[in-house]
Structure 1
Amino acid sequence: MLKWTLSELAKYRQTPLHFTETLDLKQELMERDPEILDVTPVKADGYVSFDDGDILVSVTLGGKLTVPSTRSLQPVVLPLDFTFSEVYLTDERHKDKYEDGQLVLDLDGDTLDLHPAIADHVLLSIPMQVLTPEEAAQGIMPKGDNWTVMGEDDFAKEQEQDRPNPAFEKLKGLFPDDDDKQK
């Protein structure tokens, strides 16, 4: 269930509480982010320890998330395999004993519920740019009738090529006086 009261967690002062849970987050995540196409059950494996009134949590998540490619909208399966750590404070004065980079949160009430934190971290793990393996390997860009997306390198190459318009090239010899003035 991944939900414990402070009195239950106080029993784990000496040895951390180990948990392994498989969560069905599909509906919740798809409601929060409509671009998510599918989510396998997410396995959460972690430890909760109670230290001087603070709750230290470390959770490793595993599963798969399917989202559209940011280029072609083709489905891309992203593996979920990461660990996150959080500290929940029961006393705000303890905040100073933790490093700046640590995620330190105030405990809301007298119950620790890790379900929302797990869902949040799964959503935060989705990269800004998602590519199919072919798009990543070959640099494939979307295109359509009379248009194409070009990368920065292709754009720079095209700018280097100073191709005059052939229609204007034919007019060059018509006004020889103007050609001499431009030189």
Structure 2
Amino acid sequence: MKFAQQQLQKYRNEALQFEETLDLNDLISERFSDLILKAETVLVKGSIQMTEEDDYFLMANFHADLTLPSSRSLQPVDWSCDLNVAETYVENPEKIKEFDEEEPVFAIQNKTIDLDVAILDNIVSALPLQILTKEEEAGAPLPEGKDWQVISEEEFLKEHPEEKEAKETAEKDQKLDPRLAKLDDFFKK
């Protein structure tokens, strides 16, 4: 679903309310096929309003049901998320510099706001770093094959004591230099 900038300019005084069902599978296969295997249709409710500064403010919420690959075995895992989106779109990319770094601000591309892209980007940013099947969470053995196997970090350190020493030495070296301790306190304020 795309909203043309010309269409949105009609909503200066009140927000454009929308409720859309999005099928993101084509966009997923194009952009993030390695992260998401498939997605159910996503119902998105929200609004877009033109601000006094002639920017466009998108507010939306949605629930997404996805199938992701396990980070250990690549087996399919069902995962869901509920997200709220609050983003600002500006016509001139130079105007982005006027906003705080933490604020999600984007330049309008091709005079449209693409809701599919905005929702998918928010889904991808919310994906967990590690996702496991129920069996893997319960302690299923790690994957292995012909002439290879996955081992835990603890097992690796038992088999390679020199690596354990190197890791401990690196952790000691990461301690703060006493000459910089006052500078560390400065940034905590």
Please give the TM-score of this superposition, normalised by the length of structure 2. Answer: 0.68
Tell me how far 1:93 sits from its aligned partner: 5.7
Tell me the equivalent position of 1:24: 23
Tell me the equivalent position of 1:86: 87
Change (3 A) 1:94 1:159: closer
Tell me how far 1:48 sits from its aligned partner: 1.0
Distance 1:93 1:29 in 2: 29
The one-letter amino acid paired with 1:10 is Q
Q: Does 1:39 align with 2:34?
A: no
Distance 1:106 1:37 in 2: 29
Change (3 A) 1:89 1:143: same
- Listed as ranges, the gaps of 5+ residues in structure 2 are 162-189
Tell me the equivalent position of 2:70: 69
**Secondary structure at 1:30's aligned position in 2?**
helix
CA contact (8 A) 1:86 1:103 kept: yes
Tell me the equivalent position of 1:136: 137
Distance 2:110 2:160 in 1: 61
Moved more, 126-135 or 80-89: 126-135
Change (3 A) 1:147 1:110: closer
Tell me the equivalent position of 1:58: 59
Please give the TM-score of this superposition, normalised by the length of structure 1. Answer: 0.70
Distance 2:92 2:157 in 1: 57
Tell me the equivalent position of 2:5: 6
CA contact (8 A) 2:24 2:116 kept: no
Q: Deviations over 1:138-178 (max 9, x none)?
A: 37422346653221123334557xxxxxxxxxxxxxxxxxx
The one-letter amino acid paired with 1:136 is E
Distance 2:37 2:5 in 1: 37
Tell me how far 1:23 sits from its aligned partner: 0.8
Distance 1:101 1:112 in 2: 20
Bigger-Rg structure (1/2): 1
The one-letter amino acid paired with 1:34 is S
Tell me how far 1:64 sits from its aligned partner: 1.2
- Across the two proteins, how many residue pairs are aligned to each other? 159
Alignment RMSD (CA, Å): 2.7
Distance 1:27 1:111 in 2: 19
Tell me how far 1:17 sits from its aligned partner: 2.3
Tell me the equivalent position of 2:106: 105
Tell me how far 1:54 sits from its aligned partner: 0.3
Work out the percentage of aligned pairs sharing the same amino acid.
34
**Secondary structure at 1:129's aligned position in 2?**
coil
Distance 1:3 1:102 in 2: 22
